[in-house]
Structure 1
Amino acid sequence: MTFGEQPAYLRVAGDLRKKIADGLLPPHTRLPSQARIREEYGVSDTVALEARKVLMAEGLVEGRSGSGTYVRERPVPRRVARSGYRPAGGATPFRQEQADGDARGTWESRSEQAEASGAVAERLGIKPGDRVMCTRYVFREAGEAVMLSTSWEPLDLTGRTPVMLPEEGPLGGMGVVERMAAIDVVVDNVTEEVGARPGLAEELLALGGVPGHVVLVVQRTFYASGRAVETADVVVPADRYRVAYHLPVR
């Protein structure tokens, strides 16, 4: 909904956006040149340029060096399932999803000890600088990076136990609930906050995005009797994924 008259560059961008959505400008088609936009819509070069900038910022078109601006392939958003029901076998949601015979997902991880930043310390209820196990994940489908995750666990809880390294040992690769249960810590609550922000340069590089693209961030924290035992940031491209929740009603 808009109020009053739209600026000219938004009217031009809106019409071009509709043509893209309707298939009149299909993927890989070259966007009309700045001169063509100026002539077709009766606007100035500045307006034509600003309209193109809007479409680029929205991720609908991309510039190709020495060639022009082209309509981007628009992926069909997939669901990232967040469920209140525990999957059989204790696998993490991504691993459970990849158990489907049609899935082609893989992942890689790297764990290392680190000092908790102020933000991580606040989420875990520990002091800044306290030691944590930081594990970074890259999840791939058909070789393409589709999701990033970074988790932190306080080492005063898991240090020198069989679950100190999330992806190694007898419970490597199991979910947080199952791993904590192995050291007699009963996880009874989890919170998730979902937000959106421009992707960091290193995130977009890993995920194949372009500067300015938006990512969804799921900030998840597991608790045992009120104590945070793990916190994580899950990052997915906003144009490729939707976060879907399935929660039990009690």
Structure 2
Amino acid sequence: MSAAEPLGTVTVGPGVAFDQVSLTLGRTLILDHVSFNIRPGSVHALVGPNGGGKSSLIKTLLGQMPHQGRLCLSWPAEPGLIGYVPQALEFDRGLPMTVDDFMAAMCQRLPAFMGLSRKVAPAIGDALERVGMQDKRKRRMGALSGGERQRVLLAQGLIPSPQLLVLDEPMSALDEAGAQVFERLLADWRQSGVTVVWIEHDLAAVKRLAERVTGLNRRVLFDGPPEHTLSPDRLLSLFSTHPTVQGSAHS
């Protein structure tokens, strides 16, 4: 048990090892021999500039991108479920799709136009309650604010309960109340032993909430506890156009 792990927590999420992972699209080098480890049951943040390869890295983790090198998931028991919450939801806002319709489309096999199945309806209700959207289930998705749509995306990431959860800038559109909802969810996942891989631009939130952080700008510039890694000189190097690799911080 790590020092940051709550007493009594049983880890259900996997450890993740990136070993010399590289990715080239056309003639563009996206990832350059990326190596670092994500501890089982931890909240691990990825930070770095736009275009630095963060989203591409998690797409390799989700099996959506070809890559060179080795990527290994070490599950504590049988392989579990992987959840994914994208950065934004692209859809026609004129569609007469309610929150319930969206959740049905994302979380059940029964066609959404047939309504919520009795099998998943309780889970959907619980997920929407956890993100504070229970009272807006009949609202059209196109009528929601950006922060409210982000909450719905978080809710769909809860069904079925994942053991590995990948979050792509989940706080980007959230207001203060939504950010508090996200922090509560993060605490729940940590307590449940879920492994969380979290791309985030809000460095203050990362410093407060992540157990470990990796700085990525095509390659790993630092990796360690946020209180050790998020120093001004490291961040300056991370967000510069031509980064200089600094020594990794290890706990």
Normalized against structure 2, the TM-score is what? 0.24
Q: Which has the higher helix share?
A: 2
Q: Which has the higher strand share?
A: 1
* Structure exhibiting the larger radius of gyration computed from Cα positions: 1
Higher relative contact order, chain-length normalized (CA < 8 Å, sep 6+): 2
